[in-house]
Chains A and B, each alone.
Chain A
Amino acid sequence: MSLSEEQVVQIAYLARLSLSDEELQSNTKDLNSILDLAEQLAEIDTNGITPMAHPLHMTQRLREDKVTEEDQSESFQAIAPKTGKGHYLVPTVIE
């Protein structure tokens, strides 16, 4: 199984990245060699093996449902690219 350039364009778009023609060529080659490496996994018999989601098999800790966060919106927004009236601003989505 090998990725075509069209597929790589699609994958890049899924990750919201764009590639120049030159980058597309080199990335297609590199992604295919990484996937070739990953193909080695097919050699291993994993029938009946449970996937390991956490190195210590810990379960998610729960805490009391109460407000613990302080309002830090001012300091957070101070480092934002563009804000206005307490909102993060992006180009208009709906006219």
Chain B
Amino acid sequence: MSLHTKTIAQLSQGLSSGEFSSVELTQHYLDRINASDLNAFITVTDELAMRQAQVADDKIAKGVGSILTGIPYAHKDIFCSNGVKTSAGSKMLDNFISPYDATVSHKLNQSDLVMLGKANMDEFAMGSSNENSYYGDVKNPWNVDKIPGGSSGGSAAAVAGRLAPFATGTDTGGSIRQPSSLCGITGLKPTYGRVSRYCMIAYASSLDQAGPMTQTAEDAALVLNVMAGFDEKDSTSAERDVEDYTASLNDSIKGLTIGLPKEFFSEGLDDKVASQVMAAVKEFESMGATVKEVSLPNSAYAIPTYYIVAPCECSSNLSRLDGVRYGYRCEDPKDLEDLYLRSRTEGFGEEVKRRIMIGAYALSAGYYDAYYLKAQKTRHLISEDFKKAFKGVDVIMGPVSPTTAFDLGSVKDPVSMYLADIYTLSANLAGLPGMSIPAGFAQKLPVGLQLIGNYWSESKLLNIAHQFQQQTDWHTKAPQEL
């Protein structure tokens, strides 16, 4: 068994038993990254990685390591890393060497993990295909003519292409779950507020949430144990103790009640995706779960709601990028206004500008009530739908994405791209935790099953996913050339 096919749990055992060192493991992944043409990384931090691996090996030798000591990972380029370029996939931050660490970066460092590099992503996390990166498209490891999904496309491609044992991701409207689904890996978006947003470059602050992208649910639990926790530096961080997310992985799921929202299986869902999802649900039934139909009547409105709320928040968040204190500044500005206008016009990409303008319009005098306020109200209705549904079921299941990965360059108009987010947006609007787990293939491309849980039910979701992965082997499949 080669090193790169192993899970974190297996690698951790190999490191502590001395079967291989973190330096060897890290070099192995760096070699794979250098030989790869998936464009999954914006920056490869090879020197830093080797230094961190050496420190990890010393700790392991002294017996003072933790379970994740010496495990390499890919870090989405949205988390600030002290002394390392942190670009958020944008020309605007191409010259930004972060002077501080995000809380997530700090926590991973404290646990002696090894950062291989910064993963490619859609610019400022705006996109569903990773075609909006200043650093070029990321390719799907299953078929390099296909998109990997977005916005955490580099993270998903890195894990699926076995260029890293795991990656960090962020999910504002599906950006962990959708690329996980399209690349055939396990991805978890925790409850809003579970993982600190401090120095995680903000897109839509009331929706953004970070989480792990891994091969297995067990690995996701191990990584979430490190990422999660209250942070006084993030005013929206939840003051709530962190559980040991591995503790209930092996609990039986007999008697589990699964809710299938009828709205998630209607028109627009690809037949082959639907049949893989239903086959996975059948598998759960054979494991002792019961299935019930539920209704999320306002879920179709998640698209217009999200595409008002998120652009409004982004237009406000991205106003700080003005060419004055950091980031891109245009050449020879003739006055202050010219500096603002040209720095922003030249620094931002097309989709980012589009969302900034939608937000600026929806928040402008005379339109606020019709758009932003209205969307905040429908957001409330969408979250009430879930509250009702969870009165009768333990978990909601359905597809992650209406189709498998589509061809690079094939979706050109923005609204068609937005419509593909239909099944993932509601969980963000409600603040609920969600997962994507591998559930088979359609036309040789991965299909993910989405699990949506009640608030703070990460342990339960990981337990359900882990039990499924004990019965199936979809999560062990990797692209052929590996």
Contact = CB atoms under 8 A, between A and B. Distances in A.
Contact of A63 (B206, B232, B413): B232
Contacts of B430: 55
B365 to A, nearest CB: 10
B336 A91 contact: yes
Contact of B360 (A15, A27, A53, A72): A15
Nearest to A81: B329
B99 A56 contact: no
Given A17-B345, A37-B418, A91-B335, A54 B236 contact: yes
B253 interface: no
B383 A55 contact: yes
Nearest to A92: B335
The majority secondary structure among interface residues of chain A is: loop
A38 interface: yes
Interface size range on A against B: 35 or more
A90 B324 contact: yes
Contacts of B380: 49-52
B357 A27 contact: yes
A46 to B, nearest CB: 4
A30 B356 CA distance: 13
Contact of B339 (A37, A58, A91): A91
Contact of B361 (A30, A31, A75, A92): A31
B308 interface: yes
B123 to A, nearest CB: 14
Interface in B356-373: 356-362, 364, 370-371, 373
A71 to B, nearest CB: 12
B377 A11 contact: no
Nearest to B455: A56
Contact of B329 (A27, A78, A82): A82
A31 to B, nearest CB: 6
Contacts of B239: 61
Contacts of B357: 8, 11-12, 15, 17, 27, 31
B354 A27 contact: yes
A18 B415 CA distance: 22
Contacts of A81: 323-324, 326-327, 329
Contacts of A37: 303-304, 307, 415, 418
Interface string B47-79: 000000000000000000000000000000000
A29 B429 CA distance: 27
Contacts of B27: none
B391 interface: no
Nearest to A26: B350
Contacts of A82: 329
Nearest to B372: A51
A17 B375 contact: no
Contacts of A92: 335
A39 B375 CA distance: 11
Contacts of B339: 90-91
Interface of B: 95-97, 99-100, 191-193, 206-207, 232, 235-236, 238-239, 298, 300-301, 303-305, 307-308, 315, 319, 322-327, 329, 333-342, 344-345, 348, 353-354, 356-362, 364, 370-371, 373-381, 383, 413-415, 418, 429-431, 455
Interface of A: 3, 8, 11-12, 14-19, 27, 30-31, 33-42, 44, 46, 49-56, 58, 60-61, 63, 72, 75-76, 78-82, 88, 90-93
Given A36-B415, A63-B232, A88-B324, 11 more contacts: A11-B361, A14-B361, A15-B353, A27-B353, A30-B414, A37-B415, A41-B374, A50-B377, A53-B376, A55-B429, A90-B324
